[in-house]
Amino acid sequence: MIVAVIHINVTLADWGSVLPELIIAGGMLLLMLVDVFVPGKKVNLTTWLTLIILALAFAASWNLWRTGGMASALYGTVTSDRFAMFFDFSILISAALAVLISPGYISTSAFDSGEYYALILGAVLGMMLMAAGLSLMVLFIALELLSLALYILSGFERFRPRSQEAGFKYFLLSSFASAFLLYGFALLYGVTGSTSLIKISTCLAGHAHGCSAAATSSPLLYIGIGLMLVGFAFKVSIVPFHMWTPDVYEGAPTPVTAFMSVATKAALFAAFIRVFSMSLSTVESHWYGALWALAIATMVVGNIAALAQSNMKRLLAYSGIAHAGYILVAMAANNALGQSAVAFYFLAYTFMNIGAFVFVAYLETTGRAGDEIASYRGIFYRNPALALPMAIFMFSLAGFPPTAGFFAKYVAFQAAVQAGHVDLVVVGVITSLVSVVYYLRVVAVMFLQPAEEAAPVEQPVPPEQPPAVEQVPASAEPVTRPQLPWNIDVGIWTAALGSIVLGIIPTGLLTYASESVTAVRALFGLP
C-alpha cells in the first residue's frame, strides 16, 4: 500500500495568477444570491453587477498582462501568460457587450435575469480557463463548464420552440463532440504519459526521460490527434462539423448568440493553438494536411452557404464559419506571425461581429422581425444612427480597409504566405470576394432601397432647400425614428469605433498580440 504524501505547496502568487477567474467565479455566486435574496424586478441591478464583475476581471487580467503573469501555476495546470490574457480581453469585452445589450431583450422575452447573468459568467469562467489551461484535464473541465452554461443559455427562452430546439440540438451534438475530444485527450495521455501540455511537447520532441521514442509514430497518436481535431472543429464550427451552428445561432436569444459566436471561438482557438501549434508542434506533419483541408472546406462552404441566407442570424452564423476558416489559415501557417494574427483576429472579430448582433438584438426588441434581412429595407432612411454602424460592421466583416476586419485578414493571410501556403491564401481571397456579395447585400437592403413608407411625400421640395428632416407619414408605426436606448447606443458605437480604430492604428494591439505569442512560444520552448 502506498501512502502518498502531498505537499500543499500553493503560494499566494498561484492564486493571484487565477485572480480573474476567481473574480468571475465569485461574481457568479454573488449573482445567484442576489437573485434569491433581493426581491422585485432587478434587471438593472443584475446588469450593472455583471458589468462591474466583468470590469474587475478585466482589470485583474490587465494587471497580470502588465506583470507578465506566471508561466505555470497551480502545479502546472494553468498559466497566466500574456497569451491567455490577450484572449481574456476578447472574451471579457464580448461578454460585456453582450450583457450591455441584454436588458431590452430580457424585458421583451420575460427572462429570469439573475440566472441568465450567472450562466453567462459561468460560460466566461469556462472560457477563461480554456484559454489558460496547461493541462488536458483543465481544458476538458473548462470546456464542459462553458458548454453546459451555453446549452442552458441557448434554450433560455423556454417558451419559444426555436430556442428550445437550439438548446437541445446544441446539447446533443456538442456533448458528442466533447466525447470525441475527451477520447482524443485520453489517447494523447496514453501515448505520452502525461496530461501536461508542456510535458507532452517535451515527450514528443524526444527530450523526456521515460517517454517512449516511438511515441511520435504511434498509431494511437494519429488517432488521438484526429479525435481532438474533430472535437475542436465541432466546437469552433469548422466544416464539416458546422451543421449545428446556424440552427443554434438562429434559435438562441440574440445576446447569447452574440456572446457565444465570438467568445466561445476565441477560447477554443486559444486552446486549439496551445494543444496543436504548441504542444504538438513537433508532429506538425501529422495534422497539417487535415488542417489544410478543413480550412479550405470551411472557407468555401461557409461563404457559399451564406450567400443563400435570408435570415440575418443564419447569415452571421455562416459568416462566422467562414471567419473560422480564415483563422484556420492563420493557424495553419504555424509561425509566430500566424499565431499573433489569430489573437488579433479575435479582438477585431469581437467588435465587428458583436456589433452586428447588437443591431439584430435591438431590432428584435422593437417588435419587428429583427432577424429577417428583408425587414431592414430602407432602415437607413428611418434610423441612420442604427444603419451607419451596421454598415461599418458589414464592411469590416467583408474585409474592406480601413477597418479592423481588413487588417486582421491581411495579417492572417500574410502569415500564411510567409509560411509558403499560397494555395490557402488564394482560396481565402477568392472566398472573401464571395463574402463581399452577401455582406454588401445587407448594406444594399439598408441603404439603397428606400422603404416604401418613406417614399411619397406631398410637397415637392424646391431644389435650393434640402429638406431638413424627412417627413414620416402619420400612419407609420410610432417607432420609425426612435432615439436608441443608451445601452444599445453605447454598445453599437463602441463596436463601431473598435472596428475602425483597430483598422487604422492596429500597431499597438498587433504588438501586444505578438508579445502574447512570444510568451506562449517561450513556454513551449519554440523560437
Binding site for another protein (CB under 8 A): 337, 380, 395, 400-402, 406, 410-411, 413-414, 417-418, 422, 425-426, 429-430, 432-433, 436-437, 440-441, 443-444, 447-449, 455, 457, 459-461, 463-468, 470, 506-507, 510-511, 514
Residue 314 or 421 with smaller CB distance to another protein: 421
Residue 426 or 479 with smaller CB distance to another protein: 426
Return the SS3 of 111: coil
Cβ at position 412, least distance to another protein in Å: 10
Cα–Cα nearest to 355, from 244, 501, 233, 478: 501
327: left (phi over 0), alpha (psi -120 to 50) or beta: alpha
Cis? peptide before 103, omega within 30° of 0: no
Residue 301 or 425 with smaller CB distance to another protein: 425
Distance of alpha carbon 513 from alpha carbon 161, whole angstroms: 42
Residue 10 or 448 with smaller CB distance to another protein: 448
Residue 194 or 403 with smaller CB distance to another protein: 403
Return the SS3 of 372: strand
Cβ at position 456, least distance to another protein in Å: 8
Residue 206 or 467 with smaller CB distance to another protein: 467
Cβ at position 399, least distance to another protein in Å: 9
Cβ at position 109, least distance to another protein in Å: 35
Instruction: List C-alpha distances in Å: 358 to 158, 259, 312, 365, 486.
Output: 22, 10, 12, 11, 12
Cβ at position 466, least distance to another protein in Å: 4
DSSP string, 425-441: HHHHHHHHHHHHHHHHH
Distance of alpha carbon 527 from alpha carbon 519, whole angstroms: 10
Cβ at position 468, least distance to another protein in Å: 7
Distance of alpha carbon 192 from alpha carbon 210, whole angstroms: 10
Residue 167 or 498 with smaller CB distance to another protein: 498
Is 441 exposed, middle or buried, given 0-12, 13-18 or 19+ CB atoms closer than 10 A?
A: middle
Radius of gyration of the chain (CA): 23
Instruction: Dig out the grid coordinates for 354 from the structure.
Output: 458583436
Cβ at position 279, least distance to another protein in Å: 26
